[in-house]
Amino acid sequence: MALHPNIRVVRKEAHFFDLNYSKGIDWYRSMMPLSTADQVIVEKTPGYFTSAVAPKRVRELNPAMRIILIVRDPTQRTISDFTQVYYNKLEQNKTLPIFEKEAFFPDSELINPEYKPVRNSLYDLHMTNWLRYFSMEQILLVNGDVFRGNPINELRRVETFLGLAHKITNDQLIFNERKGFFCFRRTPRSRVKCLGSTKGRPHREIADDAVAKLRRNFRPHNVRFFGLVNRIFAW
């Protein structure tokens, strides 16, 4: 989104509404980039979506806040999250987690909702909390699976949602064959920039039966989520 001339992006996750709330609003404002009257500031902290307290705090700051939420197949999101945890522990020389033992209760077909990669993928639970404080008119759902393969269409939806002219172009989005996702450049002569080295990393291999069990467990949660947002995704 930083490609748009009327969008200013906070460069790091602020975690104000979940972890850093006690630091106060002046601390939060100090993180904001300078902007003009015709620019929109976007702050990205994925942890807000799954926080029990963030929605209420956001509303107390600004009841008219607009929320952008990127969602993807929760099964793949869980495996991706597990992969990140796995490699973090590998780099720290810690005991490596086993997916089946973490994601499911012992000798059971049921997921363990206390396991963070699983809990964060139960979209219906978190969306229910957000809808206590915001209407769906204030929340834009971006399809992460579509965004990865064809970002321009989803970016145009974001521009429209924020009341901005369509300024981001296909020429600014460059597909990286090695990483498997799009990188970007501001102008035809600019250097191409990609996301961090951990993005696009191959997922850990998970047994087919474990993946199938995960999908079965997520299905009723997905259906409830579709009902909440009045939209069906291909999960």
In this predicted model, what pLDDT tens digit does every residue of 115-169 receive, in sequence order?
999 999 999 999 999 999 999 999 999 999 999 988 999 999 999 999 999 999 9
**Could you count the other beta carbons within 10 Å of the beta carbon of residue 229?**
18
The CATH code of the domain at 47-229 is 3.40.50.300
Tokens of 141: 């759902």
Residue 111, strand partner residues: 104
Q: Is 126 annotated as a binding residue?
A: no
Q: CB of 152 within 8 A of CB of 173? A: yes
Amino acid making up residue 35: S
Query: Is the model's pLDDT at 20 over the cut of 90?
Result: yes
224 is in an annotated binding site: no
Angle of the 123-130 helix axis to the 208-229 helix axis, nearest 10 = 20
Q: What is the pLDDT of residues 68-114, one digit of tens each?
A: 999 999 999 999 999 999 999 999 999 999 999 999 999 999 999 99
Alpha-carbon distance 61 to 50, whole Å? 18
pTM: 0.91
The reply, when asked if residue 80 is annotated as ligand binding, is yes
Residue 202 among known ligand-binding residues: yes
Give residue 194's pLDDT. Answer: 86
